[in-house]
Amino acid sequence: MKLSLLASLCTGLLTACSGPGANVAEGVRIRWATDPESLDPLVQPNQASTDADNLLHLSLLQTDFAKSSYSPGLADSLPKIRLVGDSLTLLTYCLRGAAAWDNGQPVLASDVAFTLKLMQAPGLHNEGIRTQFSFIRELRADPNNARRFTLVCRGQASDFAHASGDFFILPEAALDARGTLRRYRLADLIDRPTNAAPDTVLAAIAQRYVAAAPGRHPERLPGCGPYRLVSWEKDHRLRFQRKPQWWADQLKSPPLVLQAHPQQIDFLVIPDGASAALALRRGEVDLYPEVPARDFNRLRRSAKAQQTLAFYITPSHNVVTAGFNTRRPALADRLTRQALALLFDVPALLAAAQQGLGQRTVGIISPNTDRNYADSLPLLSFAPNRAAALLQQAGWRQKAADPAAGWMRQGPGGEVQRLALQVRYRADETTFTTIGLQFRAAAARLGIAVELRPTEASAFLSTLKAGDFDLYIRLVRGNPYLFNFTSVLHSEAAGEDNLTGFGTPDSDRLVEALAVAQSPAIRGRLLRKLQVELREEMPLVPLFFQYNCLAANRRLRHLYPSSLRPGYAAAAITWAPQAILP
């Protein structure tokens, strides 16, 4: 990613002022579109969950929004890298000397080792994180320094230095005071067969974790982050208060990733965008990230809103996609999926749903990453006639006597298949509704029946994992530094985070090779090949990348609007005195 380019694309439109009363100077109120559902540090079901966990917990490395990169968090520096032969990477970390849990006990290498093993333990809903970090095979503790350790990684991927530090560290004493997991080798847990005989020690660890229920009761699993959750009104509000004594306060010059200024952070769950915009204008919300394009343009054109609000636009790595359930017989062949992909009128959708605040793409990689983006591929066209020809090539036929009967074909077992689609998307997203309506209208002109199934946010992901859809429309949030797609594109992840169920031997090999790519050049070539493979197989249709549109009270400072999610630094925010505003 070209950080200088991303920085230059960020614009702030600032105007003259008024602001909230002095009584809110100690806190910040931020709009969320959805409830986080869970605050489990091993499993974040949505972006709100991740944002909340980032206040409660810390990782070895944290996202630095000012630099658009990773910076040391619990670690005192970026890891020291040593390559061994052509198959291993050694990453040496040292934890900050001041880092401590809420009870004052230091954060040690043994806590990192425990966390890595917990991520691989059976009996927990940790499938996604388990796959993501399986490249870390061993933690070698320094016998002379309880805070120093080396991670032994299988492979020599260029992004290991970042990926190895991007998970929340959990306290061993809170869940395994006797150190029972220490008897297990990390590699053995990673390679443990799914049909292995039950293990009473591992079962007990899993039971303690489940009983603690950190997803709903984070206070039962102490963190080392700057905030604690003090109230949670589901689907309404979460309130976090700053800890009066936090270990990073001892640092003379804490880096941005260890700054925590607001004494209180309230996340207000307001699903409807128009209602959220009204709350912002009324001063009931201070920060509104990911403003829908229509509301964003309406706000920044308002002379009254310009008096109280500031507006920021940055590119994002969030791509709106349509994904096919490839496990459905009617969608199991690529010609059918290729045909249906031609029924999305992306230019019209960008104009209608995003008012031009978006960027077309050929794949799931941002067009702003020149080395990785498959610019040799043409953008998809809106071509209903070509779609009809591809359907016929795939064996589909319409009865001339009754076109309303739709498209039929005979399956490999002699069964009759009918092309009729159920489309799932989150009910609270107007952009997804617009896409669904446009697709249904285009399909209807070809005689394809489409049923729109808007689904509540709380049930959306579980519905997709259960396979109860033919086509989904959703936002996929990307990361410009990490390219391990094993959990979302590999065939072995079907039924979990691989929602389309897609995977071929060729695509699996590409995904596996990407996870261990040894240089940016090799990774770029593999990413381009993967995009070509996905275009040919079409398990999903990348429609467009969104911009991150952010509106905030003009007195807010140190937002650090960024292309990195969630697009701002909540804990770094401060208030400017009203008297000094221009």
Q: Report the candidate in 563, 30, 550 with the shortest Cα–Cα distance to residue 286.
A: 30
The per-residue pLDDT for range 108-147, each reduced to its tens digit, is 999 999 999 999 999 998 888 998 899 999 999 999 999 9
The two three-digit tokens of residue 153, written as one number: 């990684």
Angle, alpha carbons 533-132-145 (nearest 5°): 145
Q: What percent of the chain has pLDDT over 70?
A: 94
31 has a pLDDT exceeding 50: yes
Q: For 230-315+547-575, which CATH superfamily applies?
A: Periplasmic binding protein-like II (3.40.190.10)
DSSP string computed for 258-279: G----SEEEEEE---HHHHHHH
Amino acid code (one letter) for 284: E
Tokens 């949670």 sit on residue: 232
The per-residue pLDDT for range 230-263, each reduced to its tens digit, is 999 999 999 999 999 999 999 999 999 999 999 9
Least reliable range by pLDDT among 225-234, 408-417, 477-486, 542-551: 477-486
Dihedral (Cα; 484, 486, 487, 489), 10-degree rounding: 110
Amino acid code (one letter) for 408: M
- Cα separation of 306 and 309, whole Å? 5
2 has a pLDDT exceeding 60: no
The class of domain 318-546 in CATH terms is alpha beta
Q: Report the candidate in 94, 484, 30, 2 with the shortest Cα–Cα distance to residue 239.
A: 30
Q: What is the pLDDT of residue 401?
A: 58
Q: What is the pLDDT of residue 25?
A: 46
Are the C-beta atoms of 42 and 57 separated by less than 8 Å?
no
Q: What percent of the chain has pLDDT over 90?
A: 79
Confidence of residue 520 (pLDDT cuts 50, 70, 90): confident
Are the C-beta atoms of 555 and 19 separated by less than 8 Å?
yes
* CATH 3.40.190.10 residue window(s) in the chain: 230-315+547-575
Q: What is the mean pLDDT of residues 455-477?
A: 93
Q: H-type helices in 446-519, by residue range? A: 457-465, 486-489, 505-515
- Cα separation of 515 and 505, whole Å? 16
8 has a pLDDT exceeding 80: no
Question: How many other C-beta atoms lie within 10 A of the C-beta of residue 386?
Answer: 13
- Cα separation of 429 and 474, whole Å? 9
* Omega before residue 79 within 30° of 0, cis: no
Are the C-beta atoms of 316 and 565 separated by less than 8 Å?
yes
Please report, for residues 91, 135, 399, 561, the alpha-carbon distance to residue 157 in angstroms, rounded to integers and kept in the order given: 12, 10, 54, 29
Q: What is the pLDDT of residue 113?
A: 98
Q: What is the mean pLDDT of residues 272-279?
A: 93
The two three-digit tokens of residue 548, written as one number: 């991150």
- What is the overall mean pLDDT for the chain? 91
3 has a pLDDT exceeding 70: no
* CATH 3.90.76.10 residue window(s) in the chain: 38-216
Q: What is the mean pLDDT of residues 406-434?
A: 93
Are the C-beta atoms of 287 and 550 separated by less than 8 Å?
yes
User: Burial code of 143-155, b = ≥16 C-beta within 10 A, e = fewer?
Assistant: eeeebbbbbbbbb
Q: What is the pLDDT of residue 182?
A: 97
Q: Report the candidate in 144, 85, 150, 14 with the shortest Cα–Cα distance to residue 553.
A: 14
The per-residue pLDDT for range 282-320, each reduced to its tens digit, is 999 999 999 999 899 999 999 999 999 999 999 888 899
Q: Report the candidate in 548, 542, 545 with the shortest Cα–Cα distance to residue 563.
A: 548
Confidence of residue 33 (pLDDT cuts 50, 70, 90): very high
* CATH 3.10.105.10 residue window(s) in the chain: 318-546
Strand partners, 62: 71
394 has a pLDDT exceeding 70: yes
The per-residue pLDDT for range 344-371, each reduced to its tens digit, is 999 999 999 898 889 999 999 999 888 8
The two three-digit tokens of residue 241, written as one number: 């208060």
Question: How many other C-beta atoms lie within 10 A of the C-beta of residue 376?
Answer: 9
The class of domain 38-216 in CATH terms is alpha beta
Structural Rg of the chain based on CA atoms: 25
Are the C-beta atoms of 308 and 281 separated by less than 8 Å?
yes
Q: What is the pLDDT of residue 480?
A: 77
Q: What is the mean pLDDT of residues 320-331?
A: 97
Dmax over Cα atoms in the chain, in whole Å? Answer: 83
Confidence of residue 534 (pLDDT cuts 50, 70, 90): very high
The per-residue pLDDT for range 490-519, each reduced to its tens digit, is 998 898 889 999 999 999 999 999 888 888
- Cα separation of 304 and 281, whole Å? 9
84 has a pLDDT exceeding 60: yes
- Cα separation of 528 and 533, whole Å? 9
Strand partners, 313: 11, 549
Confidence of residue 24 (pLDDT cuts 50, 70, 90): very low
- Cα separation of 112 and 118, whole Å? 10
Q: In sequence order, what are the residues at sequence separation of 6 or more whose Cβ sits closer than 8 angstroms to the Cβ of residue 268?
A: 29, 30, 31, 32, 236, 237, 279, 284, 285
Q: What is the pLDDT of residue 23?
A: 34
Q: Report the candidate in 251, 209, 245 with the shortest Cα–Cα distance to residue 228.
A: 245
Tokens 């797609």 sit on residue: 485
Q: What is the mean pLDDT of residues 328-342?
A: 97
Q: In sequence order, what are the residues at sequence separation of 6 or more whose Cβ sits closer than 8 angstroms to the Cβ of residue 282?
A: none
The per-residue pLDDT for range 152-210, each reduced to its tens digit, is 999 988 889 999 999 999 999 999 999 999 999 999 999 999 899 999 999 999 999 99
5 has a pLDDT exceeding 50: no
Q: What is the pLDDT of residue 279?
A: 97
Would strands 264-269 and 27-32 be described as parallel, antiparallel, or unpaired?
Answer: parallel
Q: What is the pLDDT of residue 11?
A: 35
